[in-house]
Chains A and B, each alone.
Chain A
Amino acid sequence: MIRRILDTAVFGYFALFMVLILALGFRWHTQRKAPVQPINYSHQIHVGKLNLECAFCHETADKSYYAGVPSVQKCMSCHSAVKTDTPEIQKLTKYWNDKEPVPWNRVHRIRIRNHIYFTHKRHIAAGVQCEHCHGQLAAMPRVRQVKSMKMGFCVSCHEANHAPTDCVICHK
């Protein structure tokens, strides 16, 4: 009898342990894919409702390696007048008044980024749509990573579109 209780307790302990690990793993997963941002900026409103072009804010996507994150000044060009009374915009105004850039959290945390040459410019020039990699931002209240951004994802698209698949095209 004691033996059985003990066995159940040990089993229970491990079951609890597994559940805990799974729960943590899930939370870590979602957290990583869709980090909480210092300001609850919504692509849903800006892209979905207001129909802003991606390049309106991500100005250098067609010019450079980097797509570019809009400057705080750019945000303030509208928000010095628009919706100034909401708490999120007040956060933005505070950054602007403190002369601090907004410390956004990176959504696409690609582990080997420093080994990869990925240029937004070439992909835009080739006619790849932003949502192909970044998903339907118009429907996202909080931005998350929708594609794996692993080598297989890149190569399958390169092959389908007859883009170069030589290793040193991307591996630097």
Chain B
Amino acid sequence: MDRREFLGLLTLASGASLLAGCDLTRKSEKLIPYLVPPDDGIIPGEATYVATSCTECPAHCGITARIREYRPVRVDGLAAHPVNDGALCMRGQASLSRLYHVDRLRQPMIKDPAGKLVPGTWDDALKRCADALRGNGEHVLLSKRTTGSLSALMDDFSSRTGVKREPEYELLSNAAIREANRSIFGRAVVPLLHPDRADLIITVGADVIETFGNPVEFTEGLSKKRGNGNRVMWYHAEPHVSMSGFKADHRLVVKPGSEATLLAYLLHTVAQAKGAGGAGAHIQDVPAVDLARASAATGLAPDMVASLGNALAHASSPLLVAGGVSTGQESGLDVARIAALIQSACGMQGRTIDMARAQDYSRVGSLVDIERLMQRLDAGSVGTFIIFNTDPVSQLSNGDQFAQSIDHAAFVIGVGDIMTPTMQRADVVLPLSHTLESWGDAEPATGLLNAIQPTLAPLFDTASDGDVLLRLMIATGAAAAGTTYQQYVSDRWSKEFGPGAPATLLKQGWIERAGGSETAAAGAPDHKYTFDSAAAHAGAVLVVAPSPRWYDGRSAELPLLHEIPDPLTSVTWDSWFSAGPETAAALNAKEEDEIELKGDSWTLALPIRVQPGLAKDVFVVHRGAAMTAGIKFSRLSGEAGTVADVTASRTGNRLKIAKTSGSLTEAGRGIVPGSHPHHFNGPHPEEHIDTAHPNEERDKFTFYPVPKYPNYRWAMAIDLDKCTGCSACVAACYTENNVPMTGRDQHLRGREMAWIRLEQYYEMDGSKADFVPAMCQQCDYAPCEPVCPVFATYHNDEGLNAQVYNRCVGTRYCSNNCPYKQRRFNWYAWQHRQHPLDLMVNPDVSIRGKGIMEKCTFCVQRIRHARDVAKDQGRKINEGDFTTACAQACPGKAIVFGNLLDENSEVHKWARDPRSARILEELGTSPGVFYLKKNGGAEHGA
């Protein structure tokens, strides 16, 4: 074959294949109309909003779901809700991804003869359940904490079907606090806190910013107080490091197990200065602790302990609360009791601590109850065991044993939304709808009720929690056929809150019964305090802390909460031990070395992350991060706490930890505004901000065209004093902007896609840490713009550094040239989502494909919508018309967004605040994001 022949044949072949490739039957795109148009006034393309309740954790914030074309595309905090007032935490933001979770149960599952769970029908499943409930033996129901109508329905269910309701199972049950309040005041409640009314805050172990009580409400209260210009001194005592500790003015690193001693000292100091107050005769029971003893036990300087006692004794409206890891140890009940006595002695009740408006935990048991249940199961006395929407097998440290105990029940009915290890033990699994698909209600605090109303028809063949109970009742003949939970809750609302209540609840989303604040009087003393003020733990200590991302571990089911980094360590997809530099040095271990911890009957091996600020011999692991198999926790106090006397050793293995930040310190570079003399520290000269008008003096230094802003200059200001690092903004950004998730492998290559990076900068000695939410800084002179060869990124006349996705060719020059490292590149087509996750898409924001650069847009879709509304009304966009997703979510109200040219706008005022500064300002980029330095930041300055 010669060359010409070869070419000829090649042409023939390619021509033929080209012909074959012409697909004339290319699928046409369809345009499907309504069969019958909706009569509820819904217009396709326009969003509607439904007020409902978050159920991701027991705090039950009010939320509003944004609905487009009959499916919720976003959840936000419900404005003016008494608990969260428009804000929503990271877990609440991520709860939308539970609705669209790919592993959701889609129909009832029934165990086949081979012992495998296979899809079945509701009729079959319910028939089997009803048969089992008619069978012999004691029938029991175990659920997680329920409130409102669901709890009432469970009582009805119990009384009509004879199924016994077990004390509810909740891992972070605050059992010690409830027991303390019960035994002293006769009221087993977890009071809510009012930091906004306090002039001194002392928190002992209670991670008020992460999980304790209602973190969103606490952060808002604190922010409100500080925002009014009041300086409230906050002391936080704990053995490890938490976000609350770093947010407090004084982080007191106490030796593990010494919290009771410290509190006893404080109690006696207060009693001497003020008298016993409400605590009365109880005080005599508490062993006396003097200053030297308290100082020696806690490891704090005597000055610090004394000043703490002094401050508490002289504060007019103090707030002291103990909880979290401090009450989750052997001396936990003593800690909770002494804290309750201090609250009483200082008269906090009714002022900073609300006994009347408390979280109802009256139905919740403790690990003692779980133990009793396991004994009954093992004895074979349980006939039918209903496990209702809870997962003890993966949460309990003796989960394996619990799983075996479950198998001793004659018949197990699992009710859940995802096939968890607990559900796998069931004979029949009834699938639950998400609360966004359900009717119901939730009670965040006594006398306050949130409505739960559906935002879409169930995606799968599932039923709401109330309807599952009713269906079981109907199947057993305990309820009339056709009874629905919707009717049940509506009737109950009218009964409890009056005939107008259902309308109010559906419209407003919540209803509150008027109730005064109340104080509780102490009963007779009857407790023997057993804490040992002299004992010190010999070996290392493992602190099992509640996770800001996963709460007690339940939210670890959501992949989004693995993608978002842990705020303190920036770890994403892995389990790890945090350990201080001293601890690591003593073990001769480096970052990512595997460390094995051994207790009396357990071992746990994980890589370590070296975290400045942790005391020597203290290891921290998050709940939900790892199986805490075999670890024995205080039976009363739940499973967050300290485990003493562990031995640590290096296994010699090197592992990888997926994280977004290699270094936790800024190494003196002066990045954080106000943190360092290198940073520009003075107030801004006006002309630096006012880029709207030409200024010859300023403009002669740039050879780039001076931007002109005729109408708007969108800008953001972030108060670092109010920012707690909670990462609600990060989660909000993920769901608002369809930010792709990339997973562990890509994170190990540094390919995370978050548009907001929550940067954590520790002082080198670990005494303090600053949290800086960093997004695209929308610079006036953006270094990314001139290097784009295709004009895909450019500056618009509203100050936006805009990105045109379908013009981008992926050279990544812009990313190289961005000094803030805020541009994200799509290395792969990450957006091919599995069903039903493909529905969790904000239709106002493009899905970016492979090879495209993306970054924060200042929520340009919201600007666009606001402009549309404003144009309809023939005006300009006003302050307050809209805000960005991050600003809307922020519990601390630390972010404001608006038009810098509008002199009445918040952002205009904040930008001109003496504390205002911009990051890397010396580069001359003139960013549109202003940071307000922390109060007291000047002490670092020149």
Contact = CB atoms under 8 A, between A and B. Distances in A.
Interface of A: 10, 13-14, 17, 20-21, 24, 27-28, 31, 35, 60, 63-66, 68-74, 96, 99-106, 109, 112, 114-115, 117, 119, 121-122, 125, 166-169, 171-172
A20 B35 contact: no
A71 B34 CA distance: 5
Contacts of B35: 71-73, 96, 99-101
Contact of B864 (A13, A31, A100, A117): A117
Given A63-B46, A70-B33, A100-B35, A114 B846 contact: yes
B788 to A, nearest CB: 12
Given A21-B19, A72-B33, A168 B8 contact: no
B764 interface: no
Given A112-B806, A166-B796, A171-B805, A28 B22 contact: yes
Interface stretch (B36-44, B115-123, B226-234, B238-246): B36-44
B535 interface: no
17 contacts: A20-B19, A60-B43, A60-B44, A63-B43, A64-B43, A73-B34, A73-B36, A96-B35, A105-B30, A105-B31, A117-B861, A119-B868, A121-B868, A166-B797, A168-B802, A168-B860, A169-B864
B806 A64 contact: no
Contacts of B156: none
B8 A10 contact: yes
B796 A167 contact: yes
A28 B33 contact: no
B794 interface: yes
B871 A125 contact: yes
A28 B845 CA distance: 32
A92 to B, nearest CB: 12
B31 A104 contact: yes
Given A17-B15, A122-B871, A171-B804, A71 B33 contact: yes
A100 B796 CA distance: 46
A104 B34 CA distance: 11
Contacts of B30: 103-106
**Most chain B CB inside 10 Å of its own CB: which residue of A72, A103, A167:** A167
Given A21-B22, A72-B34, 15 more contacts: A14-B15, A64-B43, A64-B44, A72-B33, A96-B35, A101-B34, A106-B30, A106-B31, A114-B846, A115-B805, A122-B871, A167-B796, A168-B860, A172-B844, A172-B861
A17 B43 CA distance: 50
Nearest to B15: A17
B586 interface: no
B37 A168 contact: no
B640 interface: no
B33 A102 contact: yes
A156 B230 CA distance: 57
A142 B825 CA distance: 44
B4 to A, nearest CB: 11
Nearest to A102: B33
B36 A72 contact: yes
A40 B37 CA distance: 22
Given A105-B28, A105-B31, A168 B796 contact: yes
B270 to A, nearest CB: 60
Interface in B4-39: 8, 11-12, 15, 18-19, 22, 24, 28-37
B696 interface: no
Interface of B: 8, 11-12, 15, 18-19, 22, 24, 28-37, 43-46, 794, 796-798, 800, 802, 804-807, 844-847, 857, 860-861, 864, 868, 871-872
A100 B32 CA distance: 10
A171 to B, nearest CB: 5
Nearest to A119: B868
Contact of A167 (B24, B46, B802, B847): B802
A119 B844 CA distance: 11
A82 to B, nearest CB: 19
Contacts of B800: 168
Contacts of B32: 69, 101-104
Mostly helix, strand, loop or mixed at chain B's interface?
Answer: loop
Contacts of A68: 44
Contact of B29 (A17, A109, A167): A109
B34 A66 contact: no
Contact of B33 (A13, A65, A104): A104
A69 B29 contact: no
A115 B860 CA distance: 13
B113 to A, nearest CB: 40
Contacts of A63: 43, 46
A122 B34 contact: no
A167 B804 contact: yes
A143 to B, nearest CB: 11
A102 B33 CA distance: 7
The residue among B31, B33, B45, B798 with the most chain A CB atoms within 10 A of its own CB is B33
Contacts of A169: 864
Contacts of B31: 69, 104-106
Contacts of A73: 34-37
A100 B807 CA distance: 40
A106 B29 CA distance: 5
Contact of B28 (A21, A70, A106): A106
A145 B784 CA distance: 39
User: For A13, A20, A65, A112, which residue has the most chain B Cβ atoms within 10 angstroms?
Assistant: A65
Contacts of B864: 117, 168-169, 172
Contacts of A74: 37
Nearest to B32: A101
Pairs of residues from A and B, 10 with the lowest C-beta to C-beta distance, nearest first = A65-B45, A64-B45, A71-B34, A69-B33, A106-B29, A104-B31, A105-B28, A66-B45, A168-B802, A115-B806
Nearest to A24: B22
B861 A27 contact: no
Q: Indicate the member of B796, B806, B845 with the most A CB atoms within 10 Å.
A: B806
A98 B36 CA distance: 13
A63 to B, nearest CB: 5
Contacts of B46: 63-65
A125 B45 CA distance: 16
B13 to A, nearest CB: 12
B155 to A, nearest CB: 42
Contact of A60 (B12, B45, B804, B860): B45
Contacts of B844: 117, 172
B24 A27 contact: yes
Contacts of A119: 45, 868
B20 to A, nearest CB: 12
Nearest to A96: B35
Contacts of A24: 22, 24
Contacts of B861: 117, 172
Contacts of B36: 71-73
Contacts of A21: 18-19, 22
Contacts of A27: 24
A81 to B, nearest CB: 18
A115 B794 CA distance: 17
Contacts of A168: 796, 800, 802, 804, 857, 860, 864
Nearest to B847: A114
B44 A66 contact: yes
Nearest to B841: A114
B917 to A, nearest CB: 28
A86 B846 CA distance: 44
A17 B804 CA distance: 40
A166 B803 CA distance: 12
A20 B600 CA distance: 82
* Most chain A Cβ neighbours within 10 Å, of B11, B31, B797, B844: B31
Contacts of B24: 24, 27-28, 31
A71 B22 CA distance: 35
A100 B806 CA distance: 36
Contacts of B8: 10
Contacts of A20: 19
A169 to B, nearest CB: 8
A63 B871 CA distance: 13
